Amino acid sequence: MGGSVKKESKSTPKGFFVTGTDTGVGKTVVSALLLKFLQAKGLKPCGMKPVETGCGREGRLLVPSDGFFLKEISGANENIDLITPFRFHHPLAPLAAGRIEGGRVEPGKIFAAFNYLRKKYDAVVAEGIGGLLVPLNENYSVLDMAREMGLPVIVVARPGLGTINHTLLTVNYAIGKGLEVAGVVINHSGRPEENLAENTNPEMINELCPVPLIGTVPHLPELSAQSLEDCAKKLFDSKGYFV
Ligand SMILES: Nc1ncnc2c1ncn2[C@@H]1O[C@H](COP(=O)(O)OP(=O)(O)OP(=O)(O)O)[C@@H](O)[C@H]1O
Ligand SMILES: [Mg+2]
């Protein structure tokens, strides 16, 4: 934790909902950066990955790697059932995985956990699954969950060719559906290619997007607590966002 005095700046939200233009774009890494940012402000946040698919099996247990990573970064002594209430083995959208595995995402159970964590912690950073229109059950999507949580949304985007379209679609659709979008983070999940698209995309997104480009996360050689903390400082504090 970054400091003993608990202080909440007026502009610091009660958390964030982290979505992406797609799966694998860096939502978990950016969620961890947001947790580190909130900790550096003297707050005690908790991460959450309400629904996770592609979970490994350990005996009869399904192990959610994102859920455990966010729990570890939060330093939260909580049962994983609260951090990731719904877990599926198949690496599919939850609706599809649930049909194969005989399970169904029940929003009521997610919100029982969310409301508990929200009361107990200063902030909750909730990671979505895939992009906004991923179906959690037959009539409830990631977007519905984000709206019900009422947290400002961060959109994580890829750096390369194609990202302008994916980012504008996601941001404009979210706003059109009534979500509060705080901004976009471009994340280098792979090594930078330094090609023309990667070099020009930040400026294009900043110009065309109705919300700010918060910054670009470099490819980090290691994803340790310390390197995430250092990166979070540069990404958020130097830009003045949420400070
Ligand atoms: N900035 C970064 N530096 C180094 N590695 C990264 C970075 N961002 C992401 N990665 C790596 O890229 C992969 C995908 O990132 P991450 O798991 O955060 O994506 P995601 O959007 O959360 O994926 P999912 O849709 O499966 O939840 C992971 O192996 C992660 O460790
Ligand atoms: Mg993830």
Supply the residue whose CA is at minimum distance from atom 12 of ligand 1: 189
Number of the ligand closest to the Cα of 129: 1
- Contacting residues for 201 by C-beta, under 8 A, at least 6 apart: 159, 160, 163, 164, 186
Q: Which atom belonging to ligand 1 lies closest to the Cα atom of 20?
A: 21
The Cα–Cα gap between 192 and 27 comes to 18
Domain-embedded: residue 134: yes
C-alpha 5 to ligand 2 mean position (Å): 31
* 219 CB within 6 A, ligand 1: yes
Contact 215, 239 (CB under 8 A): yes
| DSSP 3-state of 119 | helix
> What's residue 8's pLDDT?
40
What is the DSSP secondary structure assignment for residue 126, as one 8-state letter? E
- Per the structure, the complete domain to which residue 201 belongs is given by 15-237
* Structural domains counted in the chain: 1
Q: Three-class SS string for 204-227?
A: HHHHHCCCCEEEEECCCCCCCHHH
Residue 235, token pair as written in the block = 């990404």
Catalytically annotated residue among 49, 71, 109, 177: 49
In a domain, 3, yes or no: no
Question: What are the strands, taking DSSP E only, across the chain?
Answer: 15-20, 45-48, 51-52, 56-58, 61-63, 86-87, 123-127, 135-137, 140-141, 153-157, 181-187, 213-217
- Reading phi first (left if > 0) and then psi (alpha if -120 to 50, else beta), residue 236 is in alpha
Tally of CA atoms within 13 A in the half-sphere of 185 that contains its CB: 32
Check if the beta carbon of residue 192 is closer than 8 Å to that of residue 198.
yes
pLDDT in tens, the chain (243 residues): 333 343 444 455 699 999 999 999 999 999 999 999 999 999 999 999 999 999 999 999 999 999 999 999 999 999 999 999 999 999 999 999 999 999 999 999 999 999 999 999 999 999 999 999 999 999 999 999 999 999 999 999 999 999 999 999 999 999 999 999 999 999 999 998 889 999 999 999 999 999 999 999 999 999 999 999 999 998 887 665 654
Nearest CA to ligand 1 atom 26: 24
Q: Is residue 176 part of a domain?
A: yes
Assess if residue 165 is contained within a domain. yes
How far, in Å, CA of 79 to CA of 33, rounded? 22
Cα angle, residue 189 at apex, residues 188 and 192 outer, rounded to 5°: 45
CATH number for the domain including 113?
3.40.50.300
Ligand 1 atom nearest 156 alpha carbon: 21
Instruction: Determine the pLDDT at residue 94.
Output: 98
Q: For residue 34, how far is its CA from the centre of ligand 2 (angstroms)?
A: 14
Among residues 114, 127, 213, the alpha carbon closest in space to that of 163 is found at 213
What pLDDT, on a 0 to 100 scale, did the predictor assign at position 12?
A: 57
**pTM assigned to the model:** 0.94
Establish whether residue 158 lines the binding site of ligand 1, counting it when its CB lies within 6 angstroms of any ligand atom: no
Is the CB of residue 157 below 6 angstroms from any atom belonging to ligand 1? no
* 30 alpha carbon, closest ligand: 1
Q: Which residues have their alpha-adjacent CB atom under 5 A from ion ligand 2?
A: 27-28, 66
pLDDT at 242: 57
Q: Is the CB of 24 under 6 A from ligand 1?
A: yes
Using the mean position of ligand 2's atoms as its centre, give its distance from the Cα of residue 192 in Å. 20
d(CA 180, CA 176) in angstroms, rounded, equals 10
Residue with tokens 């939060």: 74
What distance in angstroms lies between residue 20's CA and the mean position of ligand 1's atoms? 11
State which ligand 1 atom lies nearest to the alpha carbon of 231.
Answer: 1
- Would residue 14 show up in a list of annotated catalytic residues for this protein? no
The CB of 228 under 6 Å from ligand 1? The reply is: no
For residue 1, tell me if it sits in a domain. no
Question: Does a structural domain hold residue 243?
Answer: no
Could you tell me if residue 172 is inside a domain? yes
Q: Is 129 inside any structural domain? A: yes
pLDDT of 154 reads: 97
